[in-house]
């Protein structure tokens, strides 16, 4: 017996690393001090550019969207999803992304699939102005089976201590701005898959008239990063609070940043719900409350600011006014007026 017959191919792993070295190196900047393959990634911080830098970190995954990617045999989009999701998570506190690290766990090492995933990841890192400095590829038969794989990322960002955005300055009569999502992003896929593949019995390449595209195209739309369009506004004097709309929807995520005795009152008629959400809802007769809990419903990111700053931000972004901050009544942190 040898390691390969037990299910672990060391040579395939080494080949995968060689295949992605050039792709990853494109994301490097002057702060990256190590090559891919080192035991640890070294990242130098130029403290002359910062007064009181605070590190902001987050770890997340892509969830069961990976099953859709596996069915479609499309792997470059989920790498972008992962990076953009993590960027949004630290950006809500005003952080600028610095570097990213990934974990890929799979049943069998396939260098061509690894390459696709990393290509997407590197593309998103470049778009968000940060380096992909390392990660882990773990071939684990017995934990993962057949074509199974998992994808997780860790991001490190920096924010000046005086510029941290916490939400604690949100006050009555502040304006709530919503920024459009590009679809389901990376949340609600367990429900979406159940509706599409079990209730409707559709295939991954089935064409959906209501969406004017295939199931794969609709479900693999890349999770948007809001950092490039909003980074110049990310200071407490402009923005009082931000929320990334992920699992739990508008209610579940906005309430995480609200001070006590304050309510976010949202009018769902203030934006046009994308076709994919209407299609899913009608296909399974889902209540509005459940839809807004499971999905982002077309709003992927929220900014809360003063009326004056809101109109200034709207002039330079694709945001829209979706609500207002009021005094809290009946202990409800977030109220959504459904259509």
- Residue 168 included in any domain: no
**Per-residue model confidence (pLDDT) at position 272:** 96
**In this structure, are 140 and 182 located in the same domain?**
no
Alpha-carbon distance values, 230 to 6, 167, 179, 310, 319 (Å): 49, 16, 10, 12, 10
**In this structure, are 264 and 157 located in the same domain?**
no
**In this structure, are 320 and 209 located in the same domain?**
yes
**In this structure, are 246 and 320 located in the same domain?**
yes
**In this structure, are 224 and 112 located in the same domain?**
no
**In this structure, are 236 and 144 located in the same domain?**
no
Q: What is the pLDDT of residues 167-215, one digit of tens each?
A: 999 999 999 999 999 999 999 999 999 999 999 999 999 999 999 999 9
Name the average pLDDT for the chain.
94
Local confidence band at 38 (pLDDT 50, 70, 90 cut-offs) = confident
Give the C-alpha separation, 200 to 68, whole Å: 15
Alpha-carbon distance values, 157 to 28, 43, 169, 209, 233 (Å): 15, 12, 22, 42, 17
Domain residue limits at 40: 4-161
- Residue 203 included in any domain: yes
**In this structure, are 33 and 157 located in the same domain?**
yes
**Per-residue model confidence (pLDDT) at position 181:** 98
Is 339's pLDDT higher than 70?
no
The CATH number given to whatever domain includes residue 182 is: 3.90.650.10
- Residue 286 included in any domain: yes
**Per-residue model confidence (pLDDT) at position 23:** 93
**In this structure, are 156 and 195 located in the same domain?**
no
**Per-residue model confidence (pLDDT) at position 315:** 95
DSSP string, 66-93: HHHHHHHT--HHHHHHHHHHHHHHHHTT
Q: What is the pLDDT of residues 215-231, one digit of tens each?
A: 999 999 999 999 999 99
How many structural domains is the chain composed of? 2
Report which DSSP code applies to 318. S
- Residue 248 included in any domain: yes
Q: Which of 234, 239, 235, 245 is nearest to 302 (CA)?
A: 245
pTM: 0.95
Domain end marker among 161, 195, 210: 161
- Residue 262 included in any domain: yes
Is 8's pLDDT higher than 80?
no
Selected residue with higher pLDDT from 10 and 132: 132
Domain end marker among 103, 133, 161: 161
- What value does the mean pLDDT take over residues 28-37? 91
Is 144's pLDDT higher than 80?
yes
The CATH number given to whatever domain includes residue 37 is: 3.30.1330.10
**In this structure, are 122 and 185 located in the same domain?**
no
Local confidence band at 154 (pLDDT 50, 70, 90 cut-offs) = very high
As a whole-number percent, the residues of the chain with pLDDT over 70 amount to 99
Alpha helix ranges (H) inside 129-213: 189-193
């Amino acid at each position: 017996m040898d390691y390969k017959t037990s299910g672990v191919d060391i040579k395939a792993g080494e080949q995968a690393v060689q295949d992605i070295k050039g792709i990853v190196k494109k994301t490097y900047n002057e702060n990256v001090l190590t090559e891919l393959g080192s035991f640890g990634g070294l990242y130098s911080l130029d403290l002359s550019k910062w007064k009181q830098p605070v590190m902001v970190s987050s770890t997340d995954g892509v969830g069961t969207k990976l099953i859709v990617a596996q069915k479609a045999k499309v792997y470059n989009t989920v790498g972008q999803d992962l990076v953009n999701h993590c960027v949004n998570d630290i950006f809500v506190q005003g952080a600028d992304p610095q570097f990213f690290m990934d974990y890929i766990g799979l049943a069998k090492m396939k260098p061509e699939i690894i390459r696709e995933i990393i290509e997407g990841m590197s593309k998103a890192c470049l778009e968000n102005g940060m380096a992909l400095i390392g990660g882990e590829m773990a071939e684990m038969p017995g934990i993962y089976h057949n074509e199974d794989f998992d994808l997780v990322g860790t991001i490190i960002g920096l924010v000046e201590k005086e510029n941290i955005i916490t939400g604690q300055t949100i006050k009555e009569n502040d304006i709530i701005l919503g920024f459009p999502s590009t679809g389901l992003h990376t949340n609600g896929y367990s429900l979406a898959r159940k509706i599409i593949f079990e209730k409707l019995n559709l295939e991954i390449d089935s064409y959906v008239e209501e969406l004017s595209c295939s199931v794969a195209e609709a479900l693999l739309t890349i999770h948007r990063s809001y950092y490039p369009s909003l980074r110049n506004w990310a200071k407490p004097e402009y923005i009082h609070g931000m929320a990334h709309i992920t699992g739990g929807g508008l209610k579940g995520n906005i309430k995480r940043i609200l001070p006590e005795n304050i309510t976010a009152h949202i009018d769902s008629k203030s934006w046009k719900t994308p076709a994919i959400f209407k299609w899913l809802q009608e296909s399974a007769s889902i209540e509005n409350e459940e839809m807004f809990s499971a999905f982002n419903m077309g709003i992927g990111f929220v900014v809360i600011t003063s009326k004056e700053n809101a109109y200034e931000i709207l002039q330079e972004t694709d945001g829209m006014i979706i609500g207002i901050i009021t005094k809290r009544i009946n202990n409800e942190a977030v109220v959504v007026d459904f259509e």
